[in-house]
Structure 1
Amino acid sequence: MSRQASKDTSVELAVRRLLHAAGLRYRVEYPVPGMPRRRIDVAFPRAKVAVLIDGCFWHGCPQHATQPKANADWWRRKLDRNMARDRETTEHLLEAGWTVLRFWEHEAPAEVAVRVAAAVEQRRTERTRGRKE
């Protein structure tokens, strides 16, 4: 487990490169406000957009998750806790007014970047409209 990348995975790096090339600036490993020891993979704090890219094994992807046979009960509890923590983090961010975008590691980085850029643009537009009114 110690060799598993928890941040700066190849998918995260690819998405970040595409976002940067599109002119978007973001924060990496941004702390979740009000939740110690939790991080947002790619955050746009002013727009309040949180991007989380979840690994299929660690976060229970319905398409690709596998169940280890050795020490199965321990792993099941571990992975269930991960998924519960994901739900809790998402709910907390939504209650705080963030837009939360969760993606699986198997999703195409180009598609992820397009969806993220659209969400950021939408939030920025909403903010500027709110100031004019």
Structure 2
Amino acid sequence: MAEALEVIPGVTFGFQQPIQMRFNELMTGVRQDVAVKIYGEDLNELSEYAEQIGRLASGVEGAQDLYIEEVTGVPQIVINYKRDQLAKYGLTIRDVNRSVQAAFAGASAGLVYENERRFDLVVRLDKTNRRM
């Protein structure tokens, strides 16, 4: 099956017995028998490291069905709270988090009715203001 499927570009396949796969996944959070997990903040850098590890691992005798998980995700924003400044304005961390979440992800501000249908009215920052 691996030979027949390797002609499909951009897709990676792995083959295992179903019970073995499920047991491995429950134990480790990954579906493969052997896994290397790398952590960091820069997704591009993580992707490069994963490729390097993949090249090294593919040279190991007996290694088969090598699978490199695509590193995907969305950028994150890190907020360093100045608690003394927040306290001056009577704000809590919860208030700030709620505002940031509304600004970037959106929050329901009410309902809009069109005939018998109703829709959430969602507010958030304009796309240009959501860039980091």
What band does the TM-score fall into relative to the shorter chain? under 0.3
TM-score, normalised relative to structure 1: 0.25
Q: Which structure is higher in helix share? A: 1
TM-score, normalised relative to structure 2: 0.25
- Structure scoring higher RCO (CA < 8 A, sep ≥ 6) equals 1
